[in-house]
Amino acid sequence: MAKYKLDWFKLDCRLDSKMELIEAEYGLLGFAVVVKLWQEIYGSEGYYCEWNDDIAILFSKKHNIALSKVKAVLMRAIARGIFHKGLFEQYGILTSHGIQVRYYDAVDRRKFAKIKPEYLLLCDTQFEEDADNSGENADISTEKANIFFTEKKREEKKRSDEKREAAQSAPAEISKVGLTDEEYRELVRLSDEITVRIYINKLIAWQQQNSKRSVKAYITVKNWIEQDKQSAKRAQPAPAPEASKSSFDLAAWQEYAEHLFD
For residues 200-218, give the mean pLDDT. Answer: 81
Domains in the chain: boundaries: 17-156, 174-258
* Whether this model's pTM surpasses 0.85: no
pLDDT band at residue 237 using 50, 70 and 90 as cut-offs? low
The reported pLDDT for the residue numbered 128 is 42
DSSP 8-state class, residue 82: S
What are the pLDDT digits (tens) for 72-130? 999 999 999 999 999 999 999 999 988 888 887 777 655 555 678 888 887 644 434 43
Q: Give Dmax (Cα) for the chain.
A: 116
How far, in Å, are 33, 51, 247 from residue 91 at the CA level? 21, 9, 89
The reported pLDDT for the residue numbered 151 is 55
Which span out of 46-55, 154-163, 247-256 was modeled with the highest average pLDDT?
46-55
The residue with greater pLDDT, 15 or 156, is: 15
Of 36, 50, 43, 35, the closest CA to residue 3 belongs to 43
The reported pLDDT for the residue numbered 256 is 60
- Residue 49, pLDDT above cutoff 90: yes
